[in-house]
Structure 1
Amino acid sequence: MTVRSLAVEAKASASFISQLERGQTSSSIGMLRRIASALGLTVADLFNEEDEIGHRVVRREARPELPTGPGTRKFLISQRPLQHVEVYAGEFDPGSSTGDEPYSHGASQEIFLVLRGRITLWLGPHDSAAAHVLGPGDSVEYRTSIPHRVVNESDETAEILWIIAPPTTSS
C-alpha cells in the first residue's frame, strides 16, 4: 500500500503518514487505530518487529511505546505470537488524560486495572458518562464500544493496565 493510499484510508494527510513512518511526529491512539484498521492489523501489530515463536521476556525499559498525548505514556505488553489478547501498560502524570472526548474502539471486552495512584474512568457518552474513581487494585470491565476516557485528577503519577480481548482493529 502506498503512503497516499494509507493516508486516504486512515483519513490523514500523506505528509503526516510519512513523518510518522520516519519517527518525526507522534500520533494519537485514535489515529493509530485508523492506520491499523486500514492495514487490516491491530494496533499491537504496528509495533511488532519480528515473528518470534515461543516465550519472550520484555524488560520494562524495552517495551514498545505508543505515541500518546502530553503527560501520558502507553506501552505494549503483549507480544507475538500472542494473538487473542492485547495488554498495555499506561502511565498518567498528574492532570493528564486520554483526551477531552471519550473514545471507543471495536466491540471487544476490556479490563482496566489500576496498579498505582488514583484514576477517574469515565464510561458512556460525554453528556451522560458515569465517573468511576479507582485506586490501586481496583478494576472495571466494559465493552470497547462504550465511549471511555481516563483522567488523573490526583497529585501523583498513576500506572494502569488495559487488557483487551480479542484485539481491536477499528477506530
Structure 2
Amino acid sequence: MASEPLGDRIRAYRSMRQMTVRGLAAQAQASASFISQLERGQTSASVGMLRRIAVALGITVADLFSEEEASGHRVVRRAERPELHAGQGSRKYLISQRPLQNLEVYSGEFEPGASTGDEQYTHGDSQEILLVLRGAVAVHLGEKSLLRMGPGDSVEYRTSVPHRVVNDGEEEAEVLWIIGPPTPD
C-alpha cells in the first residue's frame, strides 16, 4: 500500500493549484481513478509517475516527500532567495516559493548595459507585471514597442508576447516580475 502522507501532500498541492483530480491526471498522463487512489493511500506510484505528478504540480519529487506543511505562510529572507541562471551582469531571484500557487514573483538586478538576454522571449500565456524598483530600464514588447521606465513605473503584458528587459541607465537597476498564473518552467 502507498503512504497516506504522500497522498495527503499530493492532494494538498493539487488543491493549492486549484486543480481537479481529472486535471492532474490529464497533465500527469494518468487516470483520474489512479490519482484518486494514490491520494487516498490505496495504491503506490512508480518514480516515473511521481516525476510526472510533480511536474504537473509545479514542484519537485522531493517536495512530495517533504515533512514541511504543504500550505501556510512561508518567509524567504533576501539572502536565502534561490538564484536562477541569468545573463552576464544580471541576477534573477525567485521570491515566491514552490509549490507555486496562483502567481510567481521574481526579483531581477541588472548592471548598466545588462539585459534578460540578446533576444526577446516568451513563456506560456499568463499575465505579467514588471515593476521598476530602482534605476532605469528599457522594456521591449513585441516588434514595435519600446518603453523607457524608471523607479515606480510598471507595465502589464501577456507572457506570450515576446519581451526583453535592458538596463539602459548608468546605475544598477532592480525590477520585480509578478506572473499569474505561474508559467511552465
The two structures share one fold, judged by TM-score above 0.5: yes
Q: CA RMSD in A?
A: 2.3
Alignment-derived partner of residue 126 in structure 2: 108
Number of residue equivalences: 128
1:118 corresponds to 2:140 = no
Alignment of 1:15-54 (within 5 A): 39-40=55-56, 42=58, 45=59, 52=69, 53-54=71-72
The 8 Å contact of residues 57 and 99 in structure 2, kept in 1 or not, is answered as no
SS in 1 for 2:79: helix
On the 8 A contact 2:102/2:180 being kept in 1, the answer is yes
2:93 matched residue in structure 1 = 75
Alpha-carbon distance in structure 1 between the residues aligned to 2:145 and 2:91: 24
**Structure 2: gaps of 5 or more residues:** 1-54
Residue 37 of structure 2 corresponds to which residue in structure 1?
none
If each structure's helix is expressed as a fraction of its own residues, which one has the higher value?
Answer: 2
Aligned residue number for residue 28 of structure 1:
none
Question: TM-score of the superposition, structure 1-length normalised?
Answer: 0.68
CA distance in 1, matches of 2:121, 2:97: 24
TM-score, length-normalised on structure 2?
A: 0.63
Unaligned runs of 5+ in 1: 1-38
The separation in 2 between residues aligned to 1:104 and 1:80, in whole angstroms, is: 21
Q: CA deviation at 1:153?
A: 1.1
Match of 2:102 among 72, 75, 84: 84
How far, CA to CA, are the matches of 1:142 and 1:86 in structure 2? 15
Structure-2 change in CA distance of 1:80 and 1:100 (3 Å): closer
- The DSSP-based 3-state class of the residue aligned with 2:155 is strand
Q: Which has the larger radius of gyration?
A: 2
Q: How far 1:80 sits from its partner (Å)?
A: 3.8
Runs of 4+ with >2 A deviation: 39-42, 48-53
Contact map agreement 2:139 2:148 (CA 8 A) in 1: yes
